[in-house]
Amino acid sequence: MTRSSLRKWLARQSIPLLLLALVLTLQWLPPAGLERSLLRLEGLLYDAKVQYLPPWPRSVSNIQIVDIDEASLHEIGRMPWDRSQFERLTTRLAEAGAVLVVYDVLFSEPQPNAALTALQNWPQQSVLSEAQRQSLLSYAAGLDPDLRFAAAMQSVEVVLANVLHRHGRLRTGQLSRYMSQNPSGQIIPTGQQNVWQQRPAGTTPFEPFSGFAAPITTLASAASGQGFINAEADADGFIRRVALLHELDTQLYPSLALEAFRVYSLVEQVQPAWLQQAGHAYLHGVQIGNSLIRTDQQGRILIPFRGGARHYPYSSAADVLGDRIDDQRFDQAVVFVGTSATGLADLQATPTSLTFPGVEIHATVFDGLMSPQSLPYRPDWWTGAMLLQMLILAMFCLWLFPRLGPLSSVAAALLVMLLAVGVNLWLWRVQVLDLPLLNLLLLVVLLSVYFISYGFVRETRRRKRINAVFDQYLPPAHIQRLLDDPGSVSLAGEKKQLSVLFCDIRSFTAISEQMSAQELKLWLNQYFSVMTQAIQAHDGTIDKYVGDMVMAFWGAPLAEPAHASKSIRAAFAMLHALEQLNHQFHAAGKPVARIGIGIHTGEMNVGDMGSDFRRSYTVIGDAVNLGSRLEGLTKFYGVPLLVSEDTKAGASELAYLLVDKVRVKGKQIPIRIYLPLDSDIKEPLLSHCQTFEQALASYFQQEFSQAREQLLGLQQALQFSPAVPGQPNLTGLIALYLQRIDAFLQHEPGADWDGSYSHTSK
């Protein structure tokens, strides 16, 4: 591609390239006013994938949810419950065979010890000895509900919940430090509480939290672990991803689901996986034992929703506490304890449900961590992949759409969007990769709308151009055919078999001398209007008007198999129309017109020809010149219409009178010329025409005496047959041939005489 053609291509594609730049901007630098709407639309596409094409299988683990539901609140009382209820709940689950109990309930405030408070406020303490008082205090302390709950945790592994926040330095409870990161990059459990002293060079920091609400010390010390239950919704309010790690005071802390997975898997260490590139370190996952959980740079994963709410088995907490569970559902189960009660505000909007219990989100994440290879993942290189997809898609559209019409463009746009959706769904379903889709579809829509709109504008311009080119040459119906089927016409030069007509006014100079310039203009306008109407009524294309001459052709720009026949019928129509016009001229005292028409059929060059300043759709070639010669010969033979033998062959359904065999100026090969006979020709004129052709047959066979007798007899018969307007007048032809025969009777033609007559003038 040359530099000039490249500039032209860029100029034509400037708007599509601007649309591409717009979509790229919306993808990576969306305006503040549109960002939420774009995220919402992208979220809807993601939600549809989650709902209808979940690519991940359920793990084989027995995951149960104990629900503090409305029935439990009605039976046991409103929250917060007495810790004795959680003590009993934990004990019941341990007895039922649960291997891990995960509480999505916050225990950040101690519960008052009623026995100890009553003892301390007992007014008779003074009558007790010190030993008795200490004994009673010890007994009352043993009734502490938090201690009893902590004691119950010794019968089963328990993971408790905490909340990290950014509300100043407000901190309650004890946040275990078993997720500190040491300089070697490991996150280590309780008992090796090294502070995270050093990150890898160039690490992008997490957004740190400043405060927390954690379980009280008594419960935190007894639990096997604890994790945060923070839920961070997308801009549209839907929860689609969760963080596995958060930072507080240069230490990393796990989510509830991640800590539950660590405890369940009996893993002693959790290690962030850093990716070193160009002097920067990026978090790309969490290593738990031999499993790598892929995350984004903020330690987040997409939640592997497996359906709507209550996808996992639910049991009412009231039924567990009331010992009404008589099956083995909790045997070897991981039990998540939380609430679905509306008043406790733990219902979240998710892709699969607008009221999804928060406890089931943690259960879903835990389930996904059990099979990390099936977790949906948006890789760090998604931006580069999106850029590459958009460029490929844009180049394909820039190549494809300009070649298509409006309907084809709509179909192609749908197919391209289906292809983009198909690739995206294949990556989602097979590779478990989540790549954005909205802006890919937006790009195709914008480009297709542009090219379809441009196509309509181009079509309008094309129609105007065709109208401008052919309006003066073709009838409106013919132009409409061109517009309806643009593929049937080509303005480029081409060779075609056509029929051309020339029409000229006899003695025009003498006529023009009888009128003023204004009168002549009006007279000619009337004449040309009638002639043009007759030509266009028979689908002819007006080529030009030159003085008093009209030139027209058939078979272009639209293909017309019957071009020869239509040209002759147009000539008949012109002659009949002229008769009517001459009556008007005579009545108005104006000169009448006599015309000669010549028609020839042959191969011609046709196309849009001319200069840079003026162009015309016209025909050129020897066949055109022959048509002009035939028009000139009508004066010589005294007939209004002559056609060539090629035209006769193309319209063989008509009747003809052979006029002569001639060589025209500039041609060596003789041709036969004919006078077409109108369909309304009647006897006895039809018989006279047959007699004339018999005489010509004798003439061409050099039987001159016989031809002379036939012509003289015909001449005598014509004296008693009055001339009929519009019918061929044979008198002039008979006189012409009698003159030739008399000359040949005196001087016989040479041995090479082929019956033709050579015309030396145009």
The DSSP string of 132-146 is HHHHHHHHHHHT-HH
- pLDDT of the residue at 191: 37
Residues 107-134, mean pLDDT to the nearest whole number: 63
Residues 181-208, mean pLDDT to the nearest whole number: 48
CB 605 within 8 A of CB 484: no
Q: Which CATH architecture has domain 496-678?
A: 2-Layer Sandwich (3.30)
Quick one: CA dihedral 527, 533, 534, 536, positive or negative? Answer: positive
Higher pLDDT, 381 or 388: 388
- pTM, two decimals, is 0.62
Check residue 401 and report its DSSP letter.
Answer: G
CB 353 within 8 A of CB 308: yes
- pLDDT of the residue at 126: 58
| Alpha-carbon distances of 34 from 363, 435, 706, rounded to whole Å | 34, 20, 101
Proportion of the chain in helix, strand, coil states, percent, rounded to 5: 45, 20, 35
Higher pLDDT, 79 or 126: 79
Q: How far apart are CA 356 and CA 347, in angstroms?
A: 5
- pLDDT of the residue at 722: 63
Q: How far apart are CA 257 and CA 517, in angstroms?
A: 103
- pLDDT of the residue at 267: 80
CB 616 within 8 A of CB 545: no
Residues 577-599, mean pLDDT to the nearest whole number: 93
- pLDDT of the residue at 130: 59
Domain with CATH 3.30.70.1230 in the chain: 496-678
The CB density around residue 620, as the number of other CB atoms within 10 Å, is 13
Of 525, 565, 560, the C-alpha closest to 545 is 525
| Peptide bond just before 80 cis, omega within 30 deg | yes
pLDDT above 90: percentage of residues in the chain: 35
The pLDDT tens digits of the residues spanning 694-749 come to: 999 999 899 989 989 998 988 888 876 665 555 677 888 888 999 998 988 888 88
Higher pLDDT, 58 or 541: 541
Residues 348-359, mean pLDDT to the nearest whole number: 88
| Alpha-carbon distances of 388 from 17, 157, 295, 396, 585, rounded to whole Å | 15, 49, 23, 12, 77
First to last CA, the chain: 52
Give 702-727 as a DSSP string: T-HHHHHHHHHHHHHHHTTS---TTS
Q: How far apart are CA 132 and CA 713, in angstroms?
A: 168
Q: What pLDDT band is residue 756 in, cutting at 50, 70 and 90?
A: confident
> Which amino acid is residue 104, in one-letter code?
D
Q: Are strands 549-554 and 541-546 parallel, antiparallel or unpaired?
A: antiparallel
- pLDDT of the residue at 193: 37
The CB density around residue 236, as the number of other CB atoms within 10 Å, is 16
Residues 380-403, mean pLDDT to the nearest whole number: 85
Q: How far apart are CA 660 and CA 331, in angstroms?
A: 116
- pLDDT of the residue at 524: 93
Of 318, 431, 295, the C-alpha closest to 68 is 318
Q: How far apart are CA 552 and CA 604, in angstroms?
A: 13
Residues 569-598, mean pLDDT to the nearest whole number: 93
Q: How far is CA 545 from the centre of its chain?
A: 49
Higher pLDDT, 525 or 610: 525
Of 115, 110, 121, the C-alpha closest to 140 is 115
> Which amino acid is residue 382, in one-letter code?
W
Residues 254-268, mean pLDDT to the nearest whole number: 90
Query: Please, what's the b/e burial string for 676-693 (b: 16 or more CB within 10 A of its CB; e: otherwise)?
Result: bbbeeeeeebeebbebbe
Q: How far apart are CA 283 and CA 528, in angstroms?
A: 87
Ranges 18-27, 427-436, 714-723, most confident? 427-436
The pLDDT tens digits of the residues spanning 452-507 come to: 887 777 777 777 776 666 665 555 655 666 666 655 555 557 899 999 999 999 98
- Model confidence at 30: pLDDT above 80: no
The pLDDT tens digits of the residues spanning 409-423 come to: 888 889 999 999 999
Burial of 703 (0-12, 13-18, 19+ CB in 10 A): middle
- pLDDT of the residue at 185: 42
Higher pLDDT, 272 or 632: 632
Q: What pLDDT band is residue 46 in, cutting at 50, 70 and 90?
A: confident
Q: What pLDDT band is residue 181 in, cutting at 50, 70 and 90?
A: very low
Q: How far apart are CA 627 and CA 666, in angstroms?
A: 13
The residues, any chain, with a CB within 8 Å of residue 207's CB and separated by 6 or more, are 247, 298
- pLDDT of the residue at 104: 94
- pLDDT of the residue at 183: 38
Residues 313-332, mean pLDDT to the nearest whole number: 93
- pLDDT of the residue at 324: 92
- pLDDT of the residue at 115: 52
- Model confidence at 146: pLDDT above 80: yes
CB 463 within 8 A of CB 483: yes
Q: What pLDDT band is residue 538 in, cutting at 50, 70 and 90?
A: very high
Of 444, 440, 454, 438, the C-alpha closest to 15 is 454
Of 419, 401, 421, the C-alpha closest to 410 is 401
Q: How far apart are CA 424 and CA 46, in angstroms?
A: 11
CB 302 within 8 A of CB 378: yes
Burial of 273 (0-12, 13-18, 19+ CB in 10 A): middle
